[in-house]
Structures are given as C-alpha cells and as structure tokens.
Chain A
Amino acid sequence: MIRTVAASLLLVAGACLAHTQQSSVEAHFGRGTQLMQDHLYEAAANEFEEALALDPAEPRARFQYAVCLITLGRNDDARSQFEQVRKQTGDSRYVTYYLGRLDLLASDFPSAIKKLASLAQDPPFPDTPFYLGVAYISAGDLRAGTKWLERAARLTPRDYRVHYRLARAYSSAGREQDADREYALYSQFQNEHKNTEDAARACTEALRTQPQSAAREVCYRMFDPNDPEKLTLLGQLLGDGGAYTLALDPLQRAVGLDPNSFAAWHDLGLTYFRLQRYADARAPLEKAVALRPAFYGSVVLLGGTLYMLGDDDAALPVLERALRLNPSDAETAAVVEKLRAAHAKK
C-alpha cells in the first residue's frame, strides 16, 4: 500500500515539476533540462543562469544555456556562451554545429560552411547536412548546396523543409523534373504535417468528450504503422486522454521502428507505469534514461518502477540521482530517506 501511494506520488512528481527553488548546480541543471523538454526556453535559460552563477565552470549548463539563447533569438549572447564552452572543454562537434548555425543566421556563409563541413563525416545532429546545404546555396554555390541537401533528404526523408529547399535548388539549376518531384514530396510531407496537427486536435477533443471506444476511432485516423513519430504522438495523446491500454500498441510499434526515440521509450515506460505493469515499464524506462540521462521525468519514473518491483538496491541510486536533478521533490526525498534507512539497517 505504501509503495502504491509512493508510486503515485512519484508519478505526479514526474509529470509536474515543482518549482520550489533549491540552490545547487545539479538542481538548476535538472530543472532547466526539464523546462527545455517542455519548450519553456526562457525559464530554462534562467535555471541555467542560476547554475552558472553557482559554478561558472560548469560546461553542461553553459552549453544548454547557449542552446536556449539561440531558441530565444539571442544569437550574439548564444555565440559568446558557445565560445566559452569551447574554451572550457576544447573543440566539440556539438558546439561547432551550433556555431555554424549561428554563422548561417548572421549571413557569414563562408564561416558556416567551414564549421558545418568539418562535421560532415560524423554529424552531431541529422539536420547538419541540411544547414550545410543551405549555407552553400546562400553563398552562391548551388552545386555543393544541392549535394548536401540531397544528403539531408536521405537522412531526414520526411522533413518537408529539406524537400522545399531541394526543389528550389533544382529549379534554380533548371532541373525542372527533379524540382517537380521534390515539390511533390514537400507538398506531401507538409500536408501530412498539417493533417497530423488536425488529427491530433480531433483526437484530444474526442478523448475529452466521447467514450473511449468512439474516441479510439477518431484517434486512429492518425495511425500510420510506418511512421514512428506519428505512432509516438498517437500513444502520447491516448495516454494523456487516460486511454492507457490503447496507448501501448502505437508506442510499442514506435520503439520497434525507431529504437533511438527517447520520447517513444519514455512514453511506453510511463504508460506501463500508469497501468501498474512495473515489470514491463522497467526496460523502456532504462532505455529512456540511457538516451537522456539528465531528464528528471524518466529518471524518477525508473526509480519509482524499481522501487515498486521491490528492487530497492537498484532503486536507491536512481532515486538519489532524480533527487539531485530535482531536490525540491519532497516525495522522492521521503522514499530515498526510507531506502537509505533500510539500507543502513542491513
């Protein structure tokens, strides 16, 4: 019973992060990461700033702070932060990627090309070739730009931006047939994107207003057995609407199609957890934590799962880590204290 209550508390804690201030670098970093996950970049930037005020030599916080600044359009500030990270840690593919993108935004195309091209063999993000292609085209090198956009289209074949840029490049080169093909792909994926937005809206509304069986029909209009992102979204919407059992199938399919999808693993683990199927929740959550070790929501859920499974030895270090990421989580703190006490008695 206690475990059940504790699990519920952990679940709540995992879903909504308390905002009580706690001053430790790890705490601010954890909160900032969570806020970034929720796309609350301004608040996230504040957390990273707090972390840096406590420890200016903390490169992870500075890096994430810089990423927030780019998202907020504060490009000059972001550049300065990335440069500091580089000074602290030496060259990093991730820093070079963002500096390249900043050069692109500043219309310094030669510098953008130099930086992004240096990442070509081992790109830190799948959209690196896209930005390199855009940089080449902006610099007037249509041929090189086209080559990199073609590579981007292979890496991210469902990204309509890539197909639009590629179509424009082919148009400029007078390759009308290739352009028409890319325009068609652009149109297809952009329509899919819009349709997905519409379908998601309809699904959420149906889950709110209709019985689950009827809502399932509405929601399954967005079911695409070959698209892991859509499957993940479907699972998330069903889960958010309380249809946990229904959410399992699309999420299982999603992790099968894209084993590196953090969102799919996290949501699958969360759904099993919500269904109190803790044994099933463990592996997906371990995978999610491996993919995003600093994401408090996954860490606390994994700790809670292990705890519910009775594997207290495994649960304790995970919950301690969750607590470091979010020291204001009183429920987790209570469980940790209890586990420590039990451990001490052994």
Chain B
Amino acid sequence: MNGVFKTARKAGLISCHSCHLLCQSAKGSAQMRCPRCGDHLHDRKPNSIARTWALVLAAMIFYIPANVLPITIVISLGKAQSDTIMSGVIYFVQTGMWPIALVIFLASVFVPLLKLLILMFLLISVQRKSSWRQQDRTRLYRLTEIIGRWSMVDIFVVTILVALVHLGGLATIHAGPGAIFFGAVVVTTIFAAMSFDPRLIWDTEEVIHE
C-alpha cells in the first residue's frame, strides 16, 4: 500500500493492444474498438478470471492422466517397458541417481503442480478482492510465467529420445499417451498464466481507496 497511484483506467484511457494507440475509454460496458486499427479495446484482459479458471481446471484434469499413463514405451529386444513419470523418478532413485530423479521430479511433477496452485491462489485472492501482500502475489505471478516454459523439458526429452532411439529390434522408444496429456497440462497452464491479468491484483486498491 504505497499510496494511491494513477492508472490508465482511472484516467479513463485505454491503450490499443495491437497498435498501442492511446484512446479515451467509452462509457458503459459497451464493446470498444480502436479508432485507428479497429482492434478490440480492453482496459483489462477480458473475462480474465473466468478464462483462467477454465484453463486451470482443464490443466488439473489433464494432470491426472499425464501422471497415470505411461509417458514412454521402451521396446528393447522385444521386451516392452512402459514408464510413467513417477515410475521413472522411482527408477532413478532406486539406481542411486538422485540428481536426475530430482530434476525430473521438479520439472515434471512439482513445477506444473506449483504453477496450477499459484494460479488458483491468485484467482481466489483476486475474487475475494484481497489486498494482502499484493507485491508478493505479483512476484508469484511472474514466477509462474518464468518457470512455465521449463516444464516442457520432459516433453523435449521424450521427443528427442523417440527421434534418436530407432535401433530397430534392439531398442525403440515410443511416446506414451501420458506425454500428450503432459503436453496438454503444460500448454493449458501457459495459456492460463497468459489469460490471467496481474493488474487485477492491484484493482482492489482502487476500489478501497475510492
């Protein structure tokens, strides 16, 4: 709460997303268009909370099959072995390769879950119009944006393996159905993070101070 700041919305101004033309916002809840390029104008991301919720929920749903279904199917000497993310982690733990296990666990299990939980926390706090530690919450949002792309590591590893290991009868690796769902989790969380408008965290202040 560092005092009252002047925001574009307070000033009744809207910047166009496409051509960045600054225009006066119209009154009422009518649909606004950029007078120069004709694109939609919003003072906040439209329908942000609902969209984010939708995507977060979708990601949560995808998260289950992503972890239950096998992510890789290794066919080595005629013997098929399918591994889920957790079974891979357990395998590395059992073979004593703690660092690799940690990396996979963090990148593939922990981070996506963390992102989803952070987004849900932000959504709930915004909906409750909470003004609690707004700076920290904004920081959390930035964190989700930064780490989001790293959860794709797993998908990349699988993709590279599938592309490289094509040794015929000796060894072949197929991507399992879990990989698709995992990709879906990552993509939907990235979209969810994108559709969340961090300005909403600060909008509460305006209301309070008005």
The answer to whether A and B assemble together is: no
Which A residues fall within an 8 A CB radius of B? none
